[in-house]
Amino acid sequence: MANKYIPTLLRHSPVPKVHHFALLAGLDASVRGMLISVMPLTVYDALGSAESVSQVYFIAGLASLCLGLMVPWATRYIPRRWMYTIGTLLYMLGAALAVHGSSVTVPLALMANAGATATTFVCFNAYVLDYIDRSNLGKAQSLNMVYAAAPWAIGPLLGVWLRELWAPLPFLLAGALGLILLITFWILRLGNGKQISRARRPATNPLAFMGRFFAQPRLIAGWMFAVVRSCGWWVYVVYLPIFCIENGLGDKVGGVALSLSNALLFITPLMLRLVNKLTVRRSVRLAFALCAVAFAGSALVAPLPWLTVGFMMGGAVMLVVLDVVGGLPFLMAVKPSERTEMAAIYSSFRDVSGIITPGSAWLVLLVAPLPAVFALTGLAMAGCVVVAGKLHPRLGSRRPSHGRLLPEELLPEK
């Protein structure tokens, strides 16, 4: 009887809404957007060469991949709310290590940030799948992009500007934003996700579906598109700022270019309308083709640094288009009965690209200058143009029998 005198909010956890997840996505983007432009510069200053930067990013990519694969296993023993908390604490740890600025602490800061991103990403998506109905996933994804657009557009430029005022300042702000993210998460009271009844049989290990994945060429092609697209962003974020420094353009040009490119997130609804007028195959092929021209062209005009920056920014415009449409070939090919397991396999593209890009750049820089990394990326994108030509011509177009497109819920995440 006494329970009736207790406020409802205290007796029951509030059910999180779409805008609550968008708020978390925006705060997470604020932390990452602040760090994305200053970390390559800080690592370069601490280690002194592009080759060393590649080595550290390669190791961080391996660590992130291993941690990301361990998170689902770890949540069997550690409640999900504490796993997410650990992820946010890793953001703060990374910021504290980066403030020190030594050749030892900066690589550790990079690995802590990579671990934070992997941990919070896995937990966040698990919460979304728990609380958001399938019919609202498209709305949730669109709202996430809207909330994240400003942090991704402002963060890189703000980060390099604060770094010029005082080197530790962007990391202190990132640590404070990480703390705000943690407090917001606990205020929302997401707990450990929905309480569900005990399964009749053990959950299938996503790794057990690797055989099914490799048996379907369409899934392999879609996953490859995601990896190459992500590699393009890695090159743009990490190696373009280093190119600008080595060619006398200063350490702010890369951050400005990244902010301008990320500002295109505000017009993603317009991009979606354009994509809907074309087939997915045409959209993917055109975007990859223009990316290939831009990245390869930036290498050819390397003696003119400002022109190289212009070519790379043009390529980034197409990378944003690929963020919108590039994941559809994979997601549209997945069977409904395998969607959960294949989504886990698909999400590995982030960590795989975080290993391939610095690893390849490390090898290239042993025998060639930095623009060769741009050229190699353009070559990989040209390969995607060829593979995309084998997609079904009407993929993503209106079906004559249904008169509708596939659900918006299949749109990929930035």
- pLDDT band at residue 274 under the 50/70/90 scheme: confident
138 and 282 both lie in a single domain: no
**CB atoms inside a 10 Å sphere around CB 129:** 14
Q: What is the pLDDT of residue 9?
A: 43
Instruction: Check whether residue 179 and residue 224 sit in a common domain.
Output: no
Q: Is the pLDDT of residue 6 over 60?
A: no
Listed in sequence order, the DSSP H helices in 103-216 are 105-131, 137-165, 169-188, 210-214
- Same domain membership, residue 151 and residue 238: no
Does 162 reside within a domain? yes
Q: Decide: 136 and 147 in contact? Cβ < 8 Å.
A: no
Residue with tokens 């994979």: 330
Residue ending a domain, among 136, 168, 194, is 194
Assess contact for 229 and 292: CB atoms under 8 A: no
Range 338-355 burial, b when 16+ CB lie within 10 A, else e: beebbebbbbbbbbbbbb
Do 185 and 151 share a domain, yes or no?
A: yes
For residues 371-388, give the mean pLDDT.
95
Flag whether 165 is in a domain: yes
How many domains would you assign to the chain? 2
- 386 and 292 Cβ atoms separated by less than 8 Å: no
- Judge whether 4 lies within some domain: no
Q: Are residues 328 and 403 in the same domain?
A: yes
Please indicate, yes or no, whether residues 172 and 238 belong to a single structural domain of this protein: no
* pLDDT attached to residue 128: 80
pLDDT at site 212: 78
Q: Given this model, what pLDDT does residue 380 score?
A: 96
Residue 1 lies in a domain: no
- Indicate whether 399 belongs to any domain: yes
Asked whether residue 186 falls in the same domain as residue 216, the answer is no
The phi, psi pair for 157, rounded to 5°, reads -70, -40
Residue 316: CATH number of its domain = 1.20.1250.20
184 in a structural domain: yes
Q: Which residue has the higher pLDDT, 253 or 408?
A: 253
Of 194, 224, 239, at which residue does a domain stop? 194
pLDDT at 171: 96
Is the pLDDT at 26 greater than 60? The verdict is: yes
Q: Per-residue pLDDT for 248 more than 80?
A: yes
pLDDT digits (tens, 9 = 90+) for 399-408: 554 444 444 4
Pair (84, 229) in one structural domain: no
**Cβ(187)–Cβ(74) under 8 Å?**
no
* pLDDT tens digits for range 288-307: 999 999 999 999 999 999 99
Residue 216 falls inside a structural domain: yes
Does any domain span residue 8? no
Tell if the pTM clears 0.85, that is, is over it: no
Could you tell me if 104 and 44 lie in one domain?
yes
Average pLDDT over all residues of the chain? 82
Say yes or no: 32 and 98 in one domain: yes
Report the b/e string of 320-331 with b at 16+ CB within 10 A.
bbbbbbbbbbbb
* Distance, CA of 344 to CA of 395 (rounded, Å): 23
* Residue 74 belongs to domain spanning: 15-194
Q: Which of 141, 163, 194 is the last residue of a domain?
A: 194
Residue 259's contacts (CB-CB under 8 Å, 6 or more residues apart) are 37, 153, 154, 155, 156, 157
Predicted confidence (pLDDT) per residue in 131-183, tens digit:
877 556 656 766 777 788 889 889 998 999 999 899 999 999 999 999 999 99
Residue 39 has pLDDT above 50, yes or no: yes
306 and 345 share a domain?
Answer: yes
DSSP 4-63: GGS-HHHHSPPPP-HHHHHHHHHHHHHHHHHHHHHHHHHHHHHH-SHHHHHHHHHHHHHH
Q: Is residue 243 located within the same domain as residue 271?
A: yes
Q: In the 8-state DSSP scheme, what is residue 263?
A: G
